[in-house]
Amino acid sequence: MAITLPNLFTLDAGYVDQAHSYITQRITEYAPNVETKRGVLHDILFHLEAVLQAAQDTYADQLRRSNSLLTASADPELANDTIINQIASNFRTERFAGTQANGKCVIVLNAFIPSSVSPSVTFSASGKTFVPTGQFIGRTDSTQVVGANDRLIKPLGDGTFYYVIDMISVEVGSANNIGRNTKLTPSVSIANFVTAYAEGSFFGGSDYESNADFVKRLQEGISSKNVSNRATISAMIRDQASFKSFLDISTVGYGDAEQQRYHGVFPIASGNRLDIYVRPQAVPPVTKLQKTATLVGRQGGGGLWQASLAKSDVPGFYDVVKVIKATVTDSDSQTGLEVVSDIRGYDLTDETVSFIPDITSFEEAVYSAYQTSVIRFIDTTTDPELAEGTTQDYSLFVRSMSSIRELQNFVGGRDVRPAGGDVIVKAAIPCDLKLSFVIFKKVTDSDPDLTSIKTALAEKVNKSGFAGRLYASTLHSVIHGFLTASQSVSAIEMFGSIRKPNGDKIYIRDFDTLELPNDASSMVSNKTTVFVLDPQNIGVSVNIVDSSGV
């Protein structure tokens, strides 16, 4: 908010009275024979001058407080962006300008003929606007796919055809991060066009940094940028352009019970091991992978298929949220195939870096760039005549945090990592939340904006950091900001699900305080785990209260 002369009608009455008394006193001293206690001079002229002086004093006071790091930290929204930027520049820190969301869009056609989409075509979804990153051409012949923007048109199996293009949001901001299957509507007619939708999540969009968040981050600008302590590690990471928008960073090292990577003859902590848990995005995006699966047996009335995820497919992924046949169009109405096992492993071969972290078990590698997995699922449509060993293509939708491999390569580099130890980067362990509550309103009340309430709740939770606890009172305060005085909200059921690194599931539930378990031996605690809330996982119902008998 910019600092301007305040509205004269909103001035503090005490400031005006002080100015009035001061003016009266000075005029009395200057001209003792002039009547200054009552009359036109006192009641009108001096009063109007006092109003102007109080406005100037208020402006000057705001300006003085805005130019101090101490006072700006206490009230960061007091100052305008320029003043905060000038303060931050003294500590070699710049404000995040925000980034655009990007992702892949599926273009569905009703005919198997060449197609094209130009970057001048805009696509909209719920008020958000996206554009292709270039001129994309759908080709019907694979021999014609030679350029970076040439895409092969493939059949969907239902008489329609598709190809995939890359898109980016027009505006910056996290609001442009949309989920998979979100329908995208083009601004102009496209030949043989049927529909368009997000293949996976659109992610990477981050908000313009508010003064409050920027001032809070100034400590990192002051800090040295190295691996000597937690503050400097965070400063070092966020100093890199690729990692500036990371929401949360937590380092587990010597003295932390969650640090399990001590491998020696004696079962003691020897130090020189750093595990950095990061949260690049608020909600983990979903990526679509096409994998070739192998029929390994029969189970549950269908074929048991197995597919492998290499460490490079989706580094540090959380889970496979859906599996469908590669020839089937994805939609929210499809439940997908049943995943019956997810066996994690690890792969320490790496040609891109000269140093590999000390990892001796899959638990230590889970959610890192060295994690692998074998996924088994049941396809009840499998032909019973198919022999074991038969292969078939499937689409796997994988949930993950981005930039895990890139950050691992950075902090594991010879010039960055501690000379006497090693560093491993992991995606923060997610505690996936579901919220349920009821809003009560009178029949004459306007309907609450449920979409805005869900968005605000998710933003509040996802910015809570490595907090360890989530209070229902915090959520209530968010909800009440969207309600009228006559509306109220019930108790909020908070339900959390945590997948431990060893694969076990933990469930927590409360109506007052949802607290993360302190299971340091399994690497689950407030130092490693964050609350994750997708707006789609918030259940809200609106009940009308009959007040006729009141």
Q: What is the reported pLDDT for 223?
A: 67
63 — pLDDT class (breaks 50, 70, 90): confident
Neighbour order of strands in the sheet with 273-279: 248-252, 273-279, 422-427
User: What confidence tens digit (pLDDT) does each residue in 277-309 have?
Assistant: 999 999 999 999 999 999 999 998 899 999 999
Tokens found for residue 548? 């006729």
Tokens found for residue 373? 């997995």
Give the whole-angstrom CA distance, residue 345 versus residue 505: 18
Place of tokens 């940094």: 209
172 — pLDDT class (breaks 50, 70, 90): very high
Do residues 102 and 169 touch, judged by C-beta distance below 8 A?
A: yes
Q: What is the reported pLDDT for 550?
A: 47
DSSP at 210: P
81 — pLDDT class (breaks 50, 70, 90): confident
Weakest mean pLDDT among 12-16, 152-156, 496-500, 501-505: 12-16
382 — pLDDT class (breaks 50, 70, 90): very high
Task: Check whether 65 has a pLDDT greater than 70.
Answer: no
User: What confidence tens digit (pLDDT) does each residue in 471-486 have?
Assistant: 999 999 999 999 998 9
Mean pLDDT score of the chain: 89
User: What confidence tens digit (pLDDT) does each residue in 318-370 have?
Assistant: 999 999 998 888 877 778 999 999 999 999 987 676 688 999 999 999 999 99
More confident residue, 101 or 9: 101
Give the whole-angstrom CA distance, residue 71 versus residue 62: 10
Q: What is the reported pLDDT for 1?
A: 45
Q: Provide the residue type at 43 as one letter.
A: D
Q: How many CB atoms lie within 10 A of CB 503?
A: 13
- The sign of the dihedral angle between the CA atoms of 31, 37, 39, 41 is positive
Taking CA atoms, 46 is separated from 24, 106, 156, 266, in Å, by 7, 71, 81, 84
Average pLDDT in the 195-208 region?
Answer: 90
Give the whole-angstrom CA distance, residue 487 versus residue 483: 6
Beta strands in 191-318 (DSSP E): 193-198, 248-252, 273-279, 286-299, 302-309
Q: What is the reported pLDDT for 175?
A: 87
Give the whole-angstrom CA distance, residue 15 versus residue 123: 53
Taking CA atoms, 496 is separated from 319, 430, 469, 514, in Å, by 16, 9, 11, 8
DSSP at 327: T
Angle made by CA atoms 422, 426, 427, in degrees to the nearest 5? 165
- In the chain, the percentage of residues whose pLDDT exceeds 90 is 61
| Paired strand residues for 167 | 103, 132
Task: Check whether 48 has a pLDDT greater than 90.
Answer: no
Do residues 169 and 202 touch, judged by C-beta distance below 8 A?
A: yes
Give the whole-angstrom CA distance, residue 347 versus residue 405: 13
Average pLDDT in the 42-66 region?
Answer: 81
Q: What is the reported pLDDT for 70?
A: 67
